[in-house]
Structure 1
């Protein structure tokens, strides 16, 4: 190593993730940044009056504005973080795209979309790089929790994709749940491209990933159980879970028993939340300016707020989950606030 080489140690966030002392935990979802080469990358689908001065730097500015306005506890990036086909160097683009998150010192995590790997890194390299960035809690893949799993470097190797992992959010400090997970955050790799019967299409979440998710949700080490028999009981007993990935999928995750809401990207001009089999599926809406959008339709970000229940003397488990969006307009307008889930104690 030469004398000019500098060794940097990753800066880590304060862990574990936990609710605030006021009983809240706020997540900022950033979908489809599509970051490329900074000020050299022009905006797409903006008003003609905005185009001459619009670039990737508008995406950076929007992220900084959101962090200042909402002051989240955690940031979830749901794929197409960089626009690989427009990106000269993936590492440089990643460092610029996630710069505001790293500067904030907040814990953040990311999954990949279908465009991230189109530059100078493959999907495994991208997730490894993301996991090593300052304040990132991203993981390449889950640790080997299932005895039958093939293991490489302490990670499962019989699970499809890169970027499948879970994060626990603990109860409020000083409460009786301070050392217990009360909210689970699941991250899944929904893939990139695929060819099915000669037709080129997008990827999807594979059975190996859903199997891992179900085993984790059920608290079993790979053992089989009657999913239909246990789902209702699990939904009462388990801590609620939120799931994050890029490409919308038809699977509903009902068999996991604890997933209350799913947050996705991919469709930039879709920011709708819909309920399917008691699970909410919410699109983030397009965040980045170098990705396609719709002129006159502001870029946007989604916020998710989980709130603990209050007992006579102490905080309890999660009681309510709600969401809203903010638009990248002059006032950063807040729109479409809605409650996604409320815990009704069994009688």
Structure 2
């Protein structure tokens, strides 16, 4: 085998091993850039002319952001699909479509679940006849099923079909919560030298309550003590539905953003996750989606609480679409963020840590 092919083969083996360990590395001499795609809502009103057009437009937003920013990594921040509008047996077809702009560019990604991703099907009122019996509206050639596709099925299909996916179905003892895992960003010089730790948590909704449970809090506490016992490595947190702490900081004068057009729709209850984060000086920022009319970052204790930007044309609201971008620098460590819009402009730059 030619030498260049041997090196390519070995590089693929090393990369695959790193992915299995939830570990990836910064590029030499460059910051690490992450794009957050929030609330895409693929499959919404799938039986209408409007639905597929919105999905096409969402693909365009993601493509513009990816081409303008050229990120090293992408986070799908929940509500990837609107499952309560999807009647086909396998909603993973829509999930896969949402991933396709990132996959086509060879960019690795991870996903977490939102409240719509496995929500039960809701019968449209205009399907009902005078007799009160809904008229089935199934796409030609499709296998229709109104039971929906479970979180676990969606996650397994993503992982099995995509070598670039860093997602995982998480700890079995946290069921029905699925997407709970941690990824390590390592330095350019040493794979064992972490620059940052990124935690992903399932904030519920759909098939179970909109909370981060006590079990998840305990998992985070144990995991963070195991891999970052002295809180020396910066930690970044991602989930979909904002905690109740977001309600309190939203009126702060130090908030940085461009849209403040609705009240925070928080989780149903606070089960201790924010208290656990507040005790760790290493936690720099929390990023959520869910509220389409909010894109701000506000300081809270020693961390920042941030919304992404509504990326998808599915979902409520007519605000301009875009994506939050994060930039991590290694020495000295810094975390910077801004919003990249569909029209190519940027705004709301904020330094979240230095």
SS in 2 for 1:161: coil
TM, length-normalised to structure 1: 0.73
Distance 1:104 1:194, change over 3 A: closer
Aligned to 1:49: none
Kept in 1, the 8 Å contact 2:118–2:206? The answer is: no
Aligned to 2:339: 325
Kept in 2, the 8 Å contact 1:32–1:268? The answer is: yes
SS in 2 for 1:219: helix
Q: 1:262 aligns with which of 286, 292, 304?
A: 286
What is the CA distance between 1:107 and its match in structure 2? 1.1
Aligned to 1:110: 111
Q: 2:309 aligns with which of 261, 285, 295?
A: 285
Q: 1:307 aligns with which of 329, 333, 347?
A: 329
2:191 paired with 1:163: no
* Equivalenced residues, count: 277
Aligned to 2:153: 125
Aligned to 1:334: 346
2:199 paired with 1:186: yes
Kept in 2, the 8 Å contact 1:160–1:206? The answer is: no
TM, length-normalised to structure 2: 0.72
Structure 1 gap segments, 5+ residues each? 1-10, 45-52, 143-155, 196-201, 222-229, 310-317, 343-347
Distance 1:58 1:40, change over 3 A: farther
Cα RMSD after superposing both structures: 2.6
Q: 1:137 aligns with which of 145, 166, 169?
A: 166
SS in 2 for 1:298: coil
Structure 1 segments (4+ residues) deviating >6 Å:
37-40
The 10-residue stretch of structure 1 (35-44 or 297-306) with the greater mean CA deviation from structure 2: 35-44
Bigger strand fraction? 1
Q: For 1:96 and 1:194, how far apart are their aligned partners in 2?
A: 23
Distance 1:55 1:193, change over 3 A: closer
What is the CA distance between 1:88 and its match in structure 2? 3.3
SS in 2 for 1:191: coil
What is the CA distance between 1:170 and its match in structure 2? 0.7
Aligned to 1:245: 239
Kept in 1, the 8 Å contact 2:34–2:72? The answer is: yes
Kept in 2, the 8 Å contact 1:31–1:285? The answer is: yes
Distance 1:278 1:102, change over 3 A: same
What is the CA distance between 1:185 and its match in structure 2? 0.8
What is the CA distance between 1:55 and its match in structure 2? 2.1
Q: For 1:41 and 1:308, how far apart are their aligned partners in 2?
A: 48
Kept in 2, the 8 Å contact 1:159–1:208? The answer is: no
Per-residue deviation, residues 294-337 of structure 1 (Å, max 9, x unmatched): 2xx3112000000011xxxxxxxx511000001112xx101111
Q: For 1:75 and 1:220, how far apart are their aligned partners in 2?
A: 23
Structure 2 gap segments, 5+ residues each? 1-11, 122-147, 245-272
